Structure 1
C-alpha cells in the first residue's frame, strides 16, 4: 500500500484519508470534498515561512489535506511534514494528530527554495519505524483474517506499509484489537472499501479491499468482532490489506500479531 502517514484525540469521526495501499494498488491520492470542510482555503496562499505553535496539534478530519492544514496554521507544508515524520505524498489518516511545532533534533528539516520563490522543507533521513524491538502497544493484537500471507511490510517502501492476507470473497474480516471506528468508506483511491479503527491515542489499524463494510464511524468494536467481508475492491484478488500505525507511522504488523 502506498501510505505514509496517524493520532491523538479522536476529534470528530469524520476524518481524512489519502493513501495508496498495497503493492497491488495504484498510487493513492487525497480525495477532496466537493463542498466546505476544513480542507478548503481558496483565497489563502501557502506560507513562505512557518510560525510554530509549541505544544499544539491539529487533529485530521474528513476533507483535510496536509497542504490545507499547513495554510490554515501558517506553516509551510514541508515543515509540517518534517515535524511529523511524513514523506511524500504526505499521507494523513483520520484521527491523526499533527504536531504544529518541531519535535527536537530528530525533526530538524532543511529548507530549500521551490518555484515562485517560496520555501519548503525536506526531512532529514528518517529512521524506519519498525525495529527489532517494537514499541509496546499494550494491545492484545489478533489476526484480522485467516489466510495465506501474500504481501509483507517493508520499512521505508511506500507501496509496502502493511501486510496482505489472501482469502475468499465474503470471508470474515475482524477487528485486530478493541477500539472505535474512525473511518468506514470508499473515498480513498487504492484502498477500496476501507475501515480504520482507533485503538488509543497512539495506535490505529486499517483494513482495505473489503467486499462489504459492516461497521459505521463512531461504533465501538471488540477484538475479534467481524467488521467487514473480504473482497477485491481496489485489487485484483480477494485479499485483506492490513496496517498498524503508531503515531501515524506504519509499523510491521508481524512484530505485533501473534505467531502462527
Structure 2
C-alpha cells in the first residue's frame, strides 16, 4: 500500500510547491485590468490631438491644464509629449486694486467738511462678452432623444435625432479647436471654443466641413449628421463650462420642435 501511494504523495507535494512558486508571478484578470485602468497621471499625446481635446477627454479646464504644463497660447503640443493631467487646480488670481500713494500730508483740522459727490461719478459696469442663453442656437432642428444626466447611464450632453447628411450648425460663434476622430466614443467630433469659459462639441458626424482654427458664426454649417462611434444616426451635443459638462437645455432657447 505504501509503494502505491508514495508516488502519488510525491507528485502532490511537487505540484503544491510548484504552484506556490508560480503564484508569485501570477496576476489575476481583475488585477491586471484594474492596473491598466488606473490613471498614470500623464497623457501621452497622439497624432491629431490638441490640448483642447485632451482637456475635454479628462474634463479639465484647458487654461489650468496649459498652466500646469507650462504651455502658452496657442497651446501647441506634439505627438509623444507627456501631459500632466493629475495636478492640483489653482484658482484664477484676482487682480489687486492699485494703491494711490499720497504725495503730501494734509494738515489736521477739526472742521468737518461736507462730502461733495462729483458729477457723473456713477459709471455703468463694463460689458463682458460671454455665451449666455440668448447667444446659443440649436445645432440641429430635430427630435430630442437623449437628455443630460449625471446618474447612470451618464449622458454628458443631449442627443438629437436627424437624417443622415443633415447639416450640423455651430450653436454659437467661436473658433474650431478640434476637428477629428481621436476621442473614443465620440466618432467624428468638432469642438468649438466660444470664449474662455464655454466650449461646445458636436459628435458622431458623418462629415466635418471645417478645420481647426476656423472662425465660425452662430448657425454656420460645421458638419453633417451621421452615426460614427455610435449605433444610430444622431447628433450628440455637449456644452462645457470651465471644462465641466453642463446641461445644454439650461443654455439653449426653447426647443424648436
- TM-score, normalised via structure 1 length: 0.53
The 1:257/1:62 distance shift into structure 2, 3 A limit, reads farther
Residue pairs, 1:32-51, within 5 angstroms:
none
Give the match for residue 83 of structure 2. 69
Contact 2:172 2:218 in 1 (8 A): yes
Unmatched tracts of structure 1, length 5 or more: 1-12, 21-27, 30-52, 72-76, 84-98, 105-135
Offset from partner CA, 1:183-214 (integer Å, 9 cap, x none): 00111111110000000011100000000000
Structure with more contact order per residue of length (Cα contacts < 8 Å, sep ≥ 6): 1
Show the 5 A alignment for 1:35-184.
Answer: 56-58=67-69, 68-70=82-84, 77=86, 80=87, 83=88, 99=89, 101=90, 137-138=131-132, 140-155=135-150, 159-184=154-179
Of 190, 193, 200, 2:188 maps to: 193
The alpha-carbon distance between structure 1 residues 19 and 151, as it changes in their structure 2 partners (threshold 3 A), is farther
Judged with a 3 Å threshold, the aligned counterparts in structure 2 of structure 1 residues 158 and 137 are, in CA distance, closer, same or farther, namely farther
With over 3 angstroms needed to count, the CA separation of the structure-2 counterparts of 1:63 and 1:244, relative to structure 1, is: farther
CA-atom RMSD, angstroms?
A: 3.3
Higher helix share: 2
Q: Classify the secondary structure of the residue corresponding to 1:254.
A: helix
User: Residues 175, 162 of structure 1: CA spacing in aligned structure 2 closer, same or farther, 3 A cutoff?
Assistant: same
Partner of 2:239, secondary structure, is strand
**What is the deviation of 1:156?**
6.0
CA–CA distance in structure 2, aligned partners of residues 64 and 103 of structure 1: 29
Normalised by the size of structure 2, how large is the TM-score? 0.54
Q: Assess if the C-alpha contact under 8 Å between 1:18 and 1:189 holds in 2.
A: no
Residue-by-residue CA offset, 1:4-23 (whole Å, 9 max, x unaligned): xxxxxxxxx94353599xxx
CA deviation string 1:72-93 (max 9, x = no partner): xxxxx2xx2xx4xxxxxxxxxx
List gaps (5 residues or longer) in structure 2: 1-48, 59-63, 94-129
What is the aligned length? 159
Deviates more, 1:204-213 or 1:154-163: 154-163
Counterpart selection for 1:229 from 204, 224, 234: 224
